[in-house]
Amino acid sequence: HFFFPVYAMRLVEMIRAEHTSDETIAAVRDLALALGKTPVVCKTDSPGFIVNRCLFAFMLEAIHVYEDGVASLEDIDTAIKLGLNHPMGPFEMMDLSGLDTFPHVTQTLESLPVTSWACPESVKELVREGKYGRKTGEGWYSYSE
C-alpha cells in the first residue's frame, strides 16, 4: 500500500494475508527498498492496515472536536502542527488527500470495534512492571543504553 502522493511519501505498507509466504514479503521488501521506500509489515489483513486505522481515529476525533464547538478548524490544525509536531493539521490533511475518499475509508473501518477511552491492558501491565518509558529506562522500548 503506497501513500499519496507516491513521489513524496516514503512509506509502503506490506499486508500479510493468510497465505502470504515469507519469501513474498522479502521480495516486496526488496522491491520497496529498491524504489527508495521504507517498508513495514501489517501482520494481518486488517481494515485500514496500520496507518489509516490509526490516522482515522485521530481525524475522526478532530472532526468531533470541531463539531462539538471546542475549537475552530484553524486552531485545531495549528494545535496539532505545533503541539504534536505534525507537518500539517488533520483538516489540511483531509483536504490534501481528498474528502471524497474519507467516507470510503470510514466505511471500511466500520467493521472494527469502536475505540474506547479506557486505558488498554497492555499499558496497565507496563505500569505495574514499573516501565514508565524514558524516565525509567524502559516502556514499550528499552532505553538502557
Which residues are designated catalytic? 1
Distance of CA 26 to the CA centre of its chain: 23
Which SS3 state, helix, strand or coil, does residue 80 take?
helix
Residue 120: C-alpha distances to residues 3, 37, 91 (Å) = 29, 32, 28
How far apart are alpha carbons 3 and 6 in whole angstroms?
5
DSSP-H helix ranges across the chain: 22-34, 51-67, 73-84, 90-97, 102-109, 121-128
Q: How far apart are the first and last CA of the chain?
A: 34
